[in-house]
């Protein structure tokens, strides 16, 4: 963020503005933490809430009990300007592995120089320790601001990473338009913790064939502190913190089920700031065109008519919690200076602009981040110490793990995610050429066309789309003992348990 996140002296307080519409959302305090900087949950259990503290702790809150599950403090450089532990992304199998990915500015203990941005995997070790498995690091020692730092698994199952332009004012490193460097970008990788190399480049990365760095997905960003994926549509929303004049919201619609949009998008920095030309652009801007314009921006100067203003946008999520009334489908955001929670409607057509921006009558002191759990419930973290949940007039139980027990014979077993069942079954190939693994998703409604991925021994061997019956068939040959697992990409990745096969187990099951 443009301004340093200050250590608060007073405890957090919540201001509910008068005049809020009847039945509007309210903010419910759920706990006190030390400089909470991000909120998420176990992908398969929304009641295991994970709160990230800036100095390096990751706290789990379950049934009102807070337990520290990791302390990365010795690795984390905090808290000059915007440095610290920035965010985490729990692995899709977090419930069984305890693995999460963390983005943070590091001390020399982490390797490299003070302030370099690290993305690492952590998993539980003996005696309450955490086992670190480095994934990627980016030099960021020159300035302590504009670190970016959002981690998010996309609908396609890959890990997305936001990085700021390297700090200073006006992009002095000229990173935004330079696709040879990773600063000022959204990255997309397929992590392989504990392996060498520690990540691979997924198919479809726009610069994988050069010129440019293969990890880059989109560029031209100043400080994308927070971005998110709409858990229903897969659309990408990026809140990019501005310089002296404008704060902006960038948007890329998903081109297909299980796919992420915005590949190779150039969001303009430092040629542009919001919808306007930046007054002191880098020389490269004279030959660049075709920017992906923001869908919304707002000024730093208070306009006097109640519309948005501030100094440092804090991006949120598209609301998919049905209990929040007419907030459903709207994008929530706030600003570190104005402290007002606002919402808007994102465009429904390519090239459109957002509309309907409004104040929601809620204010949080020194907001640091929004968060979303596995049920789609939304949270706001205050740097003053309190984490709030947005709640509506009515409450419903989380839909996770509500499906009935499966019936009928199956070689595989099932794992439930948000009322879905994912089954992997073995049978003889109908053409007589080896074996066929059949993945099936139930209930099928709304999932035809979704992408499923087959892993063998932890490595991807094939990707298919579900047919109209929500079936996907993979041909396999066994020349030794093998383990298989199928994954469904969506608002979160659903994995079946591993299926272990021996060569003699040929035939129909």
- Same domain, yes or no: 51 and 120: yes
Distance from C-alpha of 58 to C-alpha of 304, rounded to nearest angstrom = 41
- Same domain, yes or no: 387 and 482: no
Q: Which of 313, 321, 320 lies closest to 342, judged by CA?
A: 313
- Same domain, yes or no: 140 and 59: yes
Both tokens assigned to 405: 């027990």
Task: Report the predicted TM-score, pTM, of the whole model to 2 decimal places.
Answer: 0.77
**Which residue matches tokens 């070790």?**
125
- Same domain, yes or no: 140 and 22: yes
The verdict on residue 396 lying in a domain is no
Q: Which helix (H) or strand (E) holds 120?
A: strand 117-124
CA atoms within 13 A on the CB side of 153: 27
- Same domain, yes or no: 379 and 462: no
Both tokens assigned to 58: 């990751």
- Same domain, yes or no: 199 and 275: yes
The verdict on residue 3 lying in a domain is no
Q: How far is CA 117 from the centre of its chain?
A: 17
Per the structure, the complete domain to which residue 474 belongs is given by: 415-501
Count of domains forming the chain: 2
The verdict on residue 370 lying in a domain is yes
Note down pLDDT in tens along the chain; length 509 residues: 443 333 232 223 233 333 334 347 999 999 999 999 999 999 989 999 999 999 999 999 998 999 999 999 999 999 999 999 999 999 999 999 999 999 999 999 999 999 999 999 999 999 889 999 999 999 999 999 999 999 999 999 999 999 999 999 999 999 999 999 999 999 999 999 999 999 999 999 999 998 999 999 999 999 999 999 999 999 999 999 999 999 999 999 999 888 999 999 999 999 999 999 999 999 999 999 999 999 999 999 999 999 999 999 999 999 999 999 999 999 999 999 999 999 999 998 888 999 999 999 999 999 999 999 999 999 999 999 999 999 998 877 775 433 222 232 323 333 333 347 788 888 776 665 568 888 888 777 778 888 888 988 778 888 888 887 788 888 887 777 788 888 887 656 787 777 877 654 333 33
- Same domain, yes or no: 314 and 428: no
- Same domain, yes or no: 154 and 295: yes
- Same domain, yes or no: 383 and 422: no
With contact defined as beta carbons under 8 Å apart, do 281 and 271 qualify?
yes
- Same domain, yes or no: 353 and 419: no
With contact defined as beta carbons under 8 Å apart, do 148 and 117 qualify?
yes
Both tokens assigned to 105: 């500015």
Query: Of 376, 391, 406, which residue sits at a domain end?
Result: 391
The verdict on residue 137 lying in a domain is yes
- Same domain, yes or no: 421 and 385: no
Q: What is the CATH number of the domain that holds 368?
A: 2.120.10.30
Give DSSP secondary structure letters for 138-198.
Answer: E---S-SS-----EEE-TTS-EEEEE---SSSS-TT--TT-TTSSTTEEEEEEE-TTSSSS
- Same domain, yes or no: 371 and 433: no
Q: Is the peptide bond before 99 cis (omega within 30 degrees of 0)?
A: no
Both tokens assigned to 147: 């670190």
**What are the phi and psi torsion angles at 60 (to 5°)?**
-105, 130
The verdict on residue 508 lying in a domain is no
Distance from C-alpha of 123 to C-alpha of 133, rounded to nearest angstrom = 8
Angle at the Cα of 310 (from 338 to 34), degrees rounded to 5?
Answer: 50
Both tokens assigned to 426: 């073995």
The verdict on residue 402 lying in a domain is no
Q: What is the CATH number of the domain that holds 480?
A: 2.60.40.10
The verdict on residue 8 lying in a domain is no
The verdict on residue 410 lying in a domain is no
Q: What is the DSSP letter of 110?
A: G
Secondary structure in 3-state letters for 199-248: EECCCCCCCCCCCCCCCEEEECCCCCCEEEECCCCCCEEEEECCCCCEEE
With contact defined as beta carbons under 8 Å apart, do 441 and 447 qualify?
yes
Query: Of 341, 375, 391, which residue sits at a domain end?
Result: 391
């Amino acid at each position: 963020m443009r301004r340093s996140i200050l250590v608060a002296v007073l405890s957090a307080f919540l201001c509910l503005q008068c005049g809020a519409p009847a039945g509007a959302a309210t903010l419910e305090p759920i706990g006190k933490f030390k400089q909470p900087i991000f909120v998420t949950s176990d992908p398969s259990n929304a009641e295991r809430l994970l709160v990230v503290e800036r100095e390096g702790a990751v706290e789990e809150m379950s049934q009102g009990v807070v337990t520290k599950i990791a302390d990365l403090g010795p690795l984390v450089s905090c808290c000059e300007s915007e440095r610290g532990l920035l965010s985490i992304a729990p692995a899709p199998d977090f419930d069984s592995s305890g693995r999460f990915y963390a983005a943070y500015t590091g001390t020399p203990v982490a390797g490299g120089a003070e302030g370099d941005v690290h993305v690492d995997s952590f998993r539980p070790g003996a005696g309450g320790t955490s086992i670190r498995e480095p994934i990627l690091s980016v030099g960021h020692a020159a300035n302590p601001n504009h670190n970016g730092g959002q981690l998010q698994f996309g609908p396609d199952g890959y890990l997305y990473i936001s990085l700021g332009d390297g700090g200073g004012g006006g992009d002095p490193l000229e990173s935004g338009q330079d696709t040879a460097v990773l600063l000022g970008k959204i990255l997309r990788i397929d992590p392989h913790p504990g392996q060498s190399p520690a990540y691979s480049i997924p198919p479809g990365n726009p610069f994988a064939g050069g010129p440019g760095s293969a990890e880059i997905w989109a560029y031209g960003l100043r400080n994308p502190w927070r971005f998110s994926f709409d858990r229903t549509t897969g659309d990408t929303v990026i809140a990019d913190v501005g310089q002296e004049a404008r704060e902006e919201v960038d948007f890329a619609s998903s081109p297909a089920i299980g796919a992420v949009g915005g590949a190779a998008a150039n969001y303009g920095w430092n040629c542009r700031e919001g919808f306007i030309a930046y007054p002191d652009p880098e020389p490269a801007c004279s030959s660049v065109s075709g920017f992906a314009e923001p869908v919304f921006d707002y000024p730093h100067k208070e306009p006097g008519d109640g519309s948005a203003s501030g100094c440092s946008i804090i991006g949120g999520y598209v609301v998919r919690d049905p209990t929040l009334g007419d907030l459903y489908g709207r994008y929530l955001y706030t600003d570190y200076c104005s402290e007002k929670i606002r919402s808007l409607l994102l465009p429904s057509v390519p090239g459109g602009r957002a509309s309907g921006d409004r104040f929601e009558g809620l204010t949080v002191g020194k907001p640091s981040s929004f968060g979303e759990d596995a049920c789609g419930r939304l949270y706001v973290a205050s740097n003053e110490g309190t984490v709030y949940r947005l709640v509506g007039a009515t409450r419903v139980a989380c839909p996770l793990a509500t499906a009935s027990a499966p019936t009928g014979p199956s070689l595989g077993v099932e794992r439930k995610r948000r009322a879905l069942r994912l089954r992997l079954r073995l049978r003889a190939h109908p053409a007589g050429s080896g074996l066929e693994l059949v993945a099936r998703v139930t209930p099928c409604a709304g999932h035809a066309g979704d992408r499923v991925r087959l892993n063998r021994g932890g490595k991807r061997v094939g990707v298919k789309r579900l047919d109209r019956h929500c079936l996907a068939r993979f041909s396999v040959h066994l020349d030794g003992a093998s383990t298989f697992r199928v994954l469904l990409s969506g608002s979160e990745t659903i994995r079946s348990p591993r299926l272990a096969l021996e060569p003699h187990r040929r035939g129909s099951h």
